[in-house]
Structure 1
Amino acid sequence: MSGQLKTKQYHELRQRLKERKPEFLRYDADKFFKLGRQEKWRRPYGRDNKTRLKIRGFPPKVSVGYRLPKDIRYLHPTGLKKVIVNNVDELIKLKDQKDNVIVIIGGTVGFKKRLDIINKAKELGIKVSNEGVM
């Protein structure tokens, strides 16, 4: 998968990989209500733990093999590269890459600067993913 993926190819590939990837639950999450609510993966450490030993019939263990390919790893669902912007100057630097980039306004940016960034992005034709979040 060398080079830039087209949006349609990106969606198809991501969907196929999502279908293949299992839902990683904590060991014994199906047996204990308290653990089932904690939908967070925790590495099994027990000496005889069957998940740790990767025995067939037990929940799969998180491993590197389930990772997404480098080409699509940190991309936005639209297939564009995500860039965090905190001021208008950083936004202006991205005007050459506007077809390959989607902007995310930083969480520490205030209301006035956020409006400035959104207006400037519309002028430059750059997409903003969290423009409605205030």
Structure 2
Amino acid sequence: MAGGEPQSLEEAFAARRNVLAARRARERLRRLIASKSRHRFLRYLSWRFWKFERRDYWRKPKGNDNKMRLQLKGYPPIVKVGYRTPKAIRGMHPSGLEPVIVSSAKDLERLSPERHIVYIASGVGLRKKQEIRRAALERGFRVAN
């Protein structure tokens, strides 16, 4: 047989099983990422006062009789541990790749295009940024910024 082809039928089946298992794992990961809830928690009374609406960031409700803190029906949910993303996809890019900040073309050598997506560091100048982008595209990386 030609080089690169499996030697026997068993090896061919084993190779096919590995490919299918990898495909299933990727699909499972994609489904997990798609189901990842991006909940936006509201500050108490942000729906009522314009000054809170502008600064729409989370503040824990702390009043004794605060209805939101008491988690009464009709009030927005508060931040809890259960809203955390699954460990398998925490910090991942929506494409399923692991984001990595790169500040030189040399940093790309230790990365894999199948696993990583490249973000070019903010402190990098234009000339070096173009150099990194060119090197990344040559090696098959996706550049996010």
TM-score bracket relative to the smaller structure: 0.7 to 0.9
The answer for the alignment partner of 1:13 in structure 2 is 32
Higher CA-based Rg:
2
1:119 counterpart SS class: helix
Give the direction of change, closer, same or farther, for the CA distance of 1:98–1:15 in structure 2 (3 Å limit): closer
Paired letter, 1:56: K
Per-residue Cα deviation, 1:54-107 (whole angstroms, up to 9, x for no partner): 22322111111111101111111111000000111111221xx22111110000
Does the CA contact (< 8 Å) of 1:24 and 1:60 recur in 2? Answer: yes
Does the CA contact (< 8 Å) of 1:17 and 1:68 recur in 2? Answer: yes
Aligned-pair identity (%): 41
Q: Distance in 1 between matches of 2:90 and 2:25?
A: 12
Higher relative contact order, chain-length normalized (CA < 8 Å, sep 6+): 1
The answer for the alignment partner of 2:55 in structure 1 is 38
Farther off after superposition, 49-58 or 113-122: 49-58
The answer for the alignment partner of 2:84 in structure 1 is 67
Q: Distance in 2 between matches of 1:22 and 1:50?
A: 20
**Which 5+ residue runs of structure 2 have no aligned equivalent?**
1-21
The answer to whether residue 108 in structure 2 is matched with residue 80 in structure 1 is: no
Cα distance, 1:41 vs structure 2: 1.0
What TM-score results when the alignment is normalised by the length of structure 2? 0.75
Q: Distance in 2 between matches of 1:78 and 1:68?
A: 16
Aligned length: 123
Cα distance, 1:17 vs structure 2: 3.6
Cα distance, 1:22 vs structure 2: 4.4
Q: Distance in 2 between matches of 1:49 and 1:31?
A: 15
**Which 5+ residue runs of structure 1 have no aligned equivalent?**
none
What TM-score results when the alignment is normalised by the length of structure 1? 0.80
RMSD (Å) for aligned C-alpha atoms = 2.1
